[in-house]
Structure 1
Amino acid sequence: MESDHETTTQDAEPSATVPWPFPDLSARSGGLELRYPDDELLVAVATVAAAGLHAEHLLPFNSPWTRGTPVEVARRVLAYAWGKRAAMSPADWTIDLAVLVDGVPAGLQGMTARDFAVARTVKTGSWLGRAHQGRGLGTRMRALMLHLAFAGLGAEVASTAAWADNGPSIGVTRKLGYMPNGRQVESRDGRAAEKLQYRLTRADWEENAAVRLPDVTLTGTEQVREFLRIR
């Protein structure tokens, strides 16, 4: 890897006595950080979602979780995150990280995997508060999560999907070098809608220096790898 894209890893020695290794997990590049949220940070992130993510007539997600009062939206963020924590296992896991810009919560960047120790494939998803959109942050936070997935956890493939009318998400995906990987029709809000699939391999990610962030620091990856049985 080129010198201006070096990865620094800061890890304590893995220990079987650590009951929950995720609080130390983070990825940083400059003023951008992806950090595993404790409950205080998670509430702050939920407040960002409650302030609005998109125009009312749009539905960029698989379910209409952004509809309702600010309190209802915030509660859904909390319930979803707590549910994923409780269901975490090496066979089926979701890692959601708070997006911080100069320490200010701006959104959430996640990745999910099933049978990762064998398949080495993750799927990413994210959202960003409206006040933070339009500045290229969506591209940078996905790029940082890809760095964590490939360089930190040993992924071989990253996939993502977006509704065909979700231009911003598709734009980020294309910028980062994903290749089209099919399309399918699914139900969205009770109506048929087309979803586009994309795929990025480790080899393509490593070869394309332009899509990697500089001076990335990863923290807590060894403990997480141990918990998820990633060798």
Structure 2
Amino acid sequence: MDLRHWPLYGLRLRTPRLELRLPGLGLLDELASVAAHGVHDPDRMPFNVPWTDGTPDEVGRAVLQHVLGTVAGWSVQDWTLSLAVLHEGKVIGRQDLMGRGFGVRRQAETGSWLGLPYQGQGFGTEMRAAALHLAFAGLGARYAVSAAMTDNPRSLGVSRRLGYLDDGLETDVVRGAPVTLRRLRLDRARWEAHRSVDVTVEGLDACRAEFGV
């Protein structure tokens, strides 16, 4: 692939078990299929945007459109890096890193999901650690923020293992009902103190300016 016009496709994050990269159409189709086969118990909704409501075909299509939309809508002032997560060459989930006014604020936000067969194996912590390494070590972030519903112990557990501190509560509306989200914040000092995953980054120099830094 010629990367002159979109060098973000050459960015690679690697951990001991995972590779994270912006998916081309082939990998994106695999990612959509993972989502279509389920990412959570259908009786509960762990996301404040209920994108998993719908038939498997609708869910897969929503993933494909979302990732393509992040590329089409990218700007240095407001960006979402939506990475496919691969284990042993197989797509298992998605890790997002987002920045709004990042060049000034130096604050990044994360979001992610894993296919049901890959949950409970530590992949969630490892892929978030990769995104945080890109944010702090690669892009010079001062803070990283996240949020999860108060009844989502897995997501909250990942955040706390990585050093995040509670940053208050907020109320959102999901499926027409109120839900409580717990906000979390991680500063550079706590990120450094809680680093436990080896991460390497390739291809950043070619696309660093796209992040506003």
Structure 2 length-normalised TM = 0.95
Query: Aligned with 2:205: secondary structure?
Result: helix
Match for residue 217 of structure 1?
200
Compute the displacement of 1:31 (Å). 2.6
Match for residue 227 of structure 1?
210
Contact 2:102 2:212 in 1 (8 A): no
Q: Structure 2 counterpart of 1:182, which letter?
A: G
What is the RMSD computed on CA atoms of the aligned residues?
Answer: 1.2
Contact 1:36 1:98 in 2 (8 A): yes
Query: What are structure 2's unaligned runs of at least 5 residues?
Result: none
- Aligned match of 1:55 in 16, 41, 48? 41
- Aligned match of 1:119 in 72, 83, 105? 105
Q: Structure 1 counterpart of 2:42, which letter?
A: E
Contact 1:146 1:158 in 2 (8 A): yes
Report percent identity of matched pairs: 45
Query: Aligned with 2:169: secondary structure?
Result: strand
Q: Structure 2 counterpart of 1:213, which letter?
A: V
Compute the displacement of 1:228 (Å). 2.8
Match for residue 139 of structure 1?
125
Contact 1:150 1:202 in 2 (8 A): yes
Alignment length (residue pairs)? 211
- Aligned match of 2:138 in 137, 149, 152? 152
Higher CA-based Rg: 1
Pair 1:28-2:28 in alignment: no
Match for residue 70 of structure 2?
84
Deviates more, 1:149-158 or 1:89-98: 149-158
Match for residue 66 of structure 1?
52
Contact 1:147 1:212 in 2 (8 A): no
Compute the displacement of 1:26 (Å). 1.1
- Aligned match of 2:180 in 194, 208, 230? 194
Query: What are structure 1's unaligned runs of at least 5 residues?
Result: 1-16
